[in-house]
Amino acid sequence: MRTVAVIGAGQMGSGIAQVVAQAGLRVLLSDVQLDLAEKAKAKIAKGLARLVEKEKIAAADAESALSLIVPVGDYAAMVEADLIIEAATEREDIKHRIFEAAGKVLRADAIMASNTSSIPITRMAVSSPDPARFIGVHFFNPVPVMKLVEVIPGLATSAATVDAVKGFVARLGKEAVQSGDEPGFIVNRILVPMLNEACFVLGSGTASVADIDKGCRLGLNHPMGPLELADFIGLDTCLEIMRVIHGSTGDSKYRPAPLLAKYVEAGWLGRKSGRGFYDYSGEVPVPTR
Ligand code: 3HC
């Protein structure tokens, strides 16, 4: 494998682009407009510079990783990719459109993968040119720090595709776990209902934002409390994941918390919008309830 295309230059796509380039592979990074991919590259440059400052990596390695990242403005360039990873918004309609468009340039020996957080792979594979070469590769945020990647074969995914993607994950220095194609896979199926439950606890007035988070940090040794983590992931993403799990299973225990839906309706999406369960406008995040 020499070249990887990453579609979507948000926090996940940028993180994936960074670790792929640090592993010595060429990255074609795209978003809906070229300037978004260029801005993402500039942000990755800052992240790499911080790693150099902290003496985690050599300046020459940061420079060489950065030189491997090529922002691209359309799908045509992706004909060079051995692997195309979609890391766009967690909306199924958008993802289907991407697979159809990128599928037109996907080489006959190349693999198409989705970094979806929850949407079943088999369902998305129908929009790709060859479901045998379609697979889920699910990274965790922040990608440069988190060791895990879930590998999710769909019904038609070939064993060769699974092996190639596991080899790719190992090349990145990450650990793979394989999950069956169930909504939310392994980790989000367990995590996001917990974050949703924290929203129910907050909405019912049981405890404040600060105490819910403190409770889980100190009582469970979690690095972040659930509301802080939901803000970090993005409340819109958390809500979408709950909707997918709820819709796919039909089980009412997965219904999204009304407070979570309200925050998303208000545009309070967490860190990325400056406000969620915390207000991020000042030096330190301040709980809002
Ligand atoms: N990019 C790169 N490196 C980062 C980073 C980022 N965005 N954020 C933090 N780091 C690095 C820091 O540089 C630091 O590195 P060092 O130890 O080598 O100096 C290290 O991570 C620890 O960072 P900090 O000291 O600044 O802060 P913390 O100790 O509080 O750690 C954290 C920050 C790593 C984000 C930690 O709070 C954590 O692990 N939180 C939980 C994250 C989590 O659960 N992620 C999974 C979310 S679910 C998901 O992604 C799935 C999706 O589908 C929804």
pLDDT digits (tens, 9 = 90+) for 186-229: 999 999 999 999 999 999 999 999 999 999 999 999 999 999 99
For the cut 90, the answer to whether the pLDDT of residue 133 exceeds it is yes
The separation between CA 178 and the C-alpha centre of its own chain, rounded to angstroms, equals 17
Separation CA 31–CA 81 (nearest Å): 16
Query: What pTM was computed for the model?
Result: 0.94
How, if at all, do strands 134-139 and 148-153 pair? antiparallel
Contact 121, 161 (CB under 8 A): no
Q: Which residues contact 194 (CB under 8 A, 6 or more apart)?
A: 226
The domains found in the chain, sorted by start residue, are 3-178 (3.40.50.720), 188-280 (1.10.1040.10)
Question: Residue 278: its pLDDT value, please?
Answer: 98
User: Considering only CA atoms, which residue is closest to atom 38 of ligand 1?
Assistant: 223
Question: Residue 248: its pLDDT value, please?
Answer: 92
Question: Residue 90: its pLDDT value, please?
Answer: 86
Residue 26's SS3 state is strand
For residue 138, indicate whether it is catalytic: yes
Which of 137, 145, 196, 216 is the best mutation target for the ligand 1 pocket, counting ligand atoms within 8 Å of the beta carbon and taking the most?
145
CA quadruple 5, 6, 8, 14: dihedral, nearest 10: -140
Catalytic residue among 118, 127, 138, 246: 138
Average pLDDT value for residue range 38-50: 97
Cα(249) to centroid(ligand 1), Å: 31
